[in-house]
Amino acid sequence: MELMSETQVRSALEEAGAILRGHFRLTSGRHSDTYVQCARILEDPALTTRLARTAAARLDGRGFDLVVAPAVGGIIIGFAVAQALGLKFIFSEREEGVMRFRRSFSVPAGSRVLVVEDVVTTGGSVAEVANLVREAGGEVAAVVSLIDRGGPKRFSDELVSLLRLEVESWEPDECVHCARGVPLDSPGSRGL
């Protein structure tokens, strides 16, 4: 199966109608005029497998022990990357607003962990997962995402992304669309 270039990843997003324009509240809480709905490309198992194999190839030889992703956005691509790497996969979930491992999931002490996310803006969810991994005695060996929306991150671990999109975002009180009264859409999974 052929690996995907950055241009091919962007084309897949565009063809699937996954790049939305409007006024959005991102999972990070920031506002933007562009939203990437990765679920639109992850609904295609063959494409998801190609994306996962591309991510795995970019991480080849790193020696990971476990793949971890935050629910909801990271579950499908996290599982697919774990499958491509031949590793176990677990995910974290929010419980009363706090990221936790549930379902008897755990990170064995000393594990080299790959954290997988669909879209990273500020990396808040990634930072929460990384903290869970470290609290369990694991090491975050790298982070991989389908999309890096650019800007500063809340984590310092190495980030490998299949596509970097420089998309502007604002704090709610600085949002140009809010100032003009444009209706706000919140398609992210933070509240799930």
pTM above 0.75, yes or no: yes
Hey, what are 187's tokens? 């398609």
- pLDDT tens digits along 64-101: 999 999 998 899 999 999 999 999 999 999 999 899 99
CA 103 – CA 91 distance, rounded (Å): 9
CA 64 – CA 90 distance, rounded (Å): 13
Residue 139 in 3-state DSSP? strand
- Domains of the chain, each with CATH number or no CATH: 6-179 (3.40.50.2020)
Residue 190, pLDDT > 70, answer no
Under DSSP, the state recorded for 29 is S
Tell me the one-letter amino acid at 91.
F
Q: What is the mean pLDDT of the chain?
A: 92
- 14: enclosing H helix or E strand: helix 6-15
Residue 62, pLDDT > 80, answer yes
Q: 35 pairs with which residues across the strands?
A: 20
- pLDDT tens digits along 96-144: 989 999 999 999 999 999 999 999 988 999 999 999 999 999 999 999 9
